[in-house]
Amino acid sequence: MDKSWIFKDRDSLEYEIGVESFLIFAEENSKDPKNIPCPCGRCGNFRKYNVKVIRGHLYEKSFSLRYTDWIWHEETSSKSVRSSAGSTFLPKEQNAQSEIVCEAAYNLDDHDSYDFNRFGISDSAFTDLLTSVGSFLPQDHVLPVNAYEAKKTLSGLGLEYIKFHACPNNCLLYRGINLNAFEYPKCRLSRWNVAKDGKLRVNSPAKVMWYFSIIPRFERMFKSPDTAGQLIWHSKKWSNDGQMRHPADSPSWRNIDYRWPSFASDPRNLRLALGADGINLFNNGLSNMYRCWPVVLVDYNLPP
């Protein structure tokens, strides 16, 4: 079977035809059509779903480029296959132990918890990973020795975050006057997860928003002499030659200077541009396992 479509653009007709041919092949050879290994770039055949979910994954996350012999979908393979990157793919029998390990690590049996525990790893497992990686590094390496030290490093860099419980319908955050509330009065959805027996799992929030405070990140920009100098670049090296090279050359920049002279008097004050675009903000029929809303903040003080 021709598999060159795997490397095609996901918007192309070749890719669409290839996906459908793969799904037909996988469903025909599957013992359980509701639990077919998903070959997308993220699941890597270690998670099992029905054809509808897999189709969504293949369009959202692409087909795993290294999965050229479909051994997990009962395609005959008489020998090991080596990809161009040097990765070896063994026949299914020899991969049985690897699959068991990966299922344990990814918690495959609990599909309902996927939205909250996607690719989760315990502190002890992460410590073992750091130890293994550190054993390959020189003796004077600076890789943290355990998960605790890794978290301390992030905290020292000013990369700490705050978790806020959120309404599953995105109605509000449980903070301020709603800090101790158990549900939002309008939508009446519970703040907590509901167990299979119908009981509320108190202290297990249904949705969590991770908030990365921006002020510590701004402060860190001024801790470096080089970066601090670049942040006032616009006030020292700006040239009025009629050329548009930077936002400092625009009428909008001068309009801000005119309207807020006290702000403009200190070149260290940051001028920011905020852009937001929704990606899979609500269920689009393909997959509703996560919602992502990227927000991009651009610092116009910096040079081009």
Domain range for residue 19? 4-108
DSSP string, 222-289: TTSHHHHHHHTHHHHS---SS---SGGGSHHHHHHHHH-HHHHT-TTS--EEEEE--BS-S--SS--S
* CA 164/CA 206 separation, integer angstroms: 11
In a domain, 146, yes or no: no
> Which of 108, 128, 146 is the last residue in one of the domains?
108
In a domain, 179, yes or no: yes
The residue ranking higher by pLDDT, 186 or 22, is: 22
In a domain, 178, yes or no: yes
In a domain, 244, yes or no: yes
- pLDDT tens-digit map of 24-61: 988 888 888 888 989 887 887 888 899 889 988 888 88
Residue 9 and residue 99 share a domain? yes
Residue 175 and residue 90 share a domain? no
In a domain, 267, yes or no: yes
Q: What pLDDT score was predicted for residue 262?
A: 94
Q: What is the 3-state secondary structure (H, E, C) of 107-127?
A: CCCCHHHHHHHCCCCCHHHHH
Q: For residue 89, what are the β-bridge partners?
A: 81
Q: For residue 112, what are the β-bridge partners?
A: none
- Confidence bin at 288 (pLDDT 50/70/90): low
The contacts of residue 26 (CB under 8 Å, 6+ apart) are 36, 51, 54, 70, 73
Residue 229 and residue 204 share a domain? no
Number of domains making up the chain: 3
Model confidence at 82: pLDDT above 50: no
**Distance from the first to the final alpha carbon of the chain:** 50
Strands 88-89 and 81-82 turn out to be: antiparallel
In a domain, 204, yes or no: yes
Residue 275 and residue 201 share a domain? no
- Confidence bin at 10 (pLDDT 50/70/90): confident
Q: What pLDDT score was predicted for residue 83?
A: 38
Strands 272-276 and 48-49 turn out to be: unpaired
Q: What pLDDT score was predicted for residue 116?
A: 37
Residue 236 and residue 206 share a domain? no
What's the distance, CA 257 to chain centroid? 38
> Which of 71, 91, 108 is the last residue in one of the domains?
108
Residue 231 and residue 171 share a domain? no
- pLDDT tens-digit map of 105-124: 334 444 443 343 455 678 88
Residue 230 and residue 203 share a domain? no
